[in-house]
Structure 1
Amino acid sequence: MAYHSGYGAHGSKYRARAAPDAPPLFDDTSGAYPSQPGGYPAPGADVAFNVNHLLGDPMANVAMAYGSSIASHGKDMMHKELHRFVSVNKLKYFFAVDTAYVAKKLGLLVFPYTHQNWEVQYSRDVPLPPRQDLNAPDLYIPTMAFITYVLLAGMALGIQKRFSPEVLGLCASTALAWVLMEVLALLLGLYLATVRSDLSTFHLLAYSGYKYVGDGYYVALAWTSAALMYFIVRSLRTAALGPDSMGGPAPRQRLQLYLTLGAAACQPLIIYWLTFHLVR
């Protein structure tokens, strides 16, 4: 079979036209973002753009500065008010105790009749801490006594098969409420009697909390109540009836004395009220 010149199965004069490329399935948008391997936008590109735009806005800068100023002022006011009602330095003073002080103070609370000097000692017009002065009030013993009272109450209720978390919580909250009510009553009495002394809320809280050291019953209750009454009368009388009030009018001195005696007389009543339901 003959073939025409210029044609052949191989190396033909006219080659077949190549088929056009298929259109891409997705548009290439990688050029809209900074170069990144894989064609993805750089991490945080939108966030960086928004932050730079925000920082470049003068009104935004003023608003941020004003907000920071308000937050700082509010923080300062909060710390100021907190230190006004609860001073950390004053609170540390009432917990500055050691083992020797605790042992001697417990002995003084149980047997205060032989103690002679009841005045708080000072050094450069600053009262000595409890570990250096037996007459100084503390909050360590009242706190430990309160916790011991709650634990003993739970044990007594458990022995009588009357224990429950609700009853124990009610017992603890009732004891704390009595202390707070007593402190508020003493503060009101001192205000009405116009007593000028160094007694603070922490002092009254300490003297009111010593009652939990004498939690006993019958003979122990009578002894510890009498000892606590004597201790409260001598301590508060020395603190409240200081040299500044000795020259005051007689009615004011009698009112201060009645206030001291009333605070002491309430101690055994509160002790009995907090313990009578625990003993059957």
Structure 2
Amino acid sequence: MDFQQHGYRATKPRARASPPSGGPLLFDDTSSGPPPMNSQNFYSSEYNMAGASAGGQDPGVGNLFADPMASAAMMYGSSLANQGKDIVNKEINRFMSVNKLKYFFAVDTRYVMKKLLLLMFPYTHQDWEVRYHRDTPLTPRHDVNAPDLYIPTMAFITYILLAGMALGIQKRFSPEVLGLCASTALVWIIIEVLVMLLSLYLLTVHTDLSTFDLVAYSGYKYVGMILTVLCGLLFGSDGYFAALAWSSCALMFFIVRSLKMKILSSFSADSMGVGTSAKPHFRLYITFALAAFQPIIIYWLTAHLVR
């Protein structure tokens, strides 16, 4: 059949052009078909990865969440975790109330500045009573007379850092010596609080002082210890003893005035006869003994840092 007579023109089939050999290819030629199969009639790893990514998420992951047994196991595990959390919180509250502990850290910058000035210059302060609102003491940020644990905690950490610096200046620093200094300061606080609690118990003094209150009042000595060590490092032994005398007198005055209303105003319910007239004197002795014990501890914990 003559194709030219019907308007057709025979064309010669074109061969596929081979890629130029002058430079590297920008893209691989994938128009020739799927990648070759290996000896086990599987495609290569590149093709499998592409197919898996194009198909979306692995169906095994969806089956894990759709499985009722897996869902039940996850719910059971979460319930066990919640029960364990409740048990831990209950055991902690048996020995230490978290809400009560938060009260002693409810401070702000204004309170901290006023409290530090009160600890160093307590002689001009007039009102020492802790204020209450509906039988609940005001938080430290609203009452400068309320005890707190923020200043004792920060002062304790600062004292340890200052002790390390003093030991380093004197070429006597070592981790063992610094650890001994920190543990000694902590043990003295524990002994002081335990002795105070035992004295109040033996004398049957009913007061609203809690263990946290005693820790706070005992921990205020670290502020005076910091001042004493700093003056000793800057001005030598004369500055050390001058700062020791000032901080000791200020701390004793602060403790006596702060604990006076809390201890002396409380009367034992079962005190009768001769014991009634004697116990106020015992309460006074406890207050003065606690105040007089502070300079001894300050000197004991700071004298070896200034030489």
Alignment check: 8 A CA contact 1:207 1:232 kept: yes
What is the aligned counterpart of 1:260 among 287, 291, 294? 287
| 1:245–1:253 contact (8 Å) kept in structure 2 | no
The normalised TM-score by structure 1 is: 0.73
Distance 1:156 1:95, change over 3 A: same
SS of aligned partner of 1:218: helix
Secondary structure of the 2:302 match is helix
Structure 1: distance between partners of 2:268 and 2:112:
31
The DSSP-based 3-state class of the residue aligned with 1:118 is coil
Q: What is the aligned partner in structure 2 of residue 225 from structure 1?
A: 248
Match of 1:163 among 166, 173, 176: 173
The 3-state SS of whatever aligns with 2:220 is helix
Equivalent runs, 1:38-77 vs 2, <5 Å: 76-77=86-87
Q: For this pair of structures, how many residues does the alignment match?
A: 235
Match of 1:104 among 111, 114, 127: 114
Determine which of 63, 82, 86 is the counterpart of 2:92.
82
What residue is the counterpart of 2:305 in the other structure?
A: 278
The whole-number CA distance in structure 2 between the counterparts of 1:247 and 1:113 is 36
* Structure 1 segments (4+ residues) deviating >4 Å: 68-77, 243-248
- Name the CA distance, whole Å, in 2 between partners of 1:253 and 1:73: 49
- Structure 1 distance, partners of 2:81, 2:155, is 41
What is the Cα deviation at residue 84 of structure 1? Answer: 2.2
Q: Distance in 1 between matches of 2:80 and 2:108?
A: 44
Query: How big is the shift at 1:69?
Result: 10
The alignment partner of 2:159 has SS state of: helix
Q: Among residues 98, 101, 110, which one is paired with 1:91 in the alignment? A: 101
Offset, 1:108:
0.8
What pairs up with 1:96-135 in 2 under 5 angstroms? 96-135=106-145
TM-score by length of 2: 0.67
Give the counterpart of 1:240 among 252, 260, 263: 263
Q: CA offset at residue 252 of structure 1?
A: 1.5
Q: Hey, what does 1:251 align to over in structure 2? A: 278
Q: Are the structure 2 counterparts of residues 71 and 231 from structure 1 closer, same or farther at C-alpha, using a change threshold of 3 Å?
A: same
Q: Tell me how far apart the structure 2 counterparts of residues 176 and 236 of structure 1 sit (CA, whole Å).
A: 22
* C-alpha spacing 1:154/1:69, structure 2 compared with 1 (3 Å): closer
Unaligned runs of 5+ in 2: 1-59, 61-67, 229-239
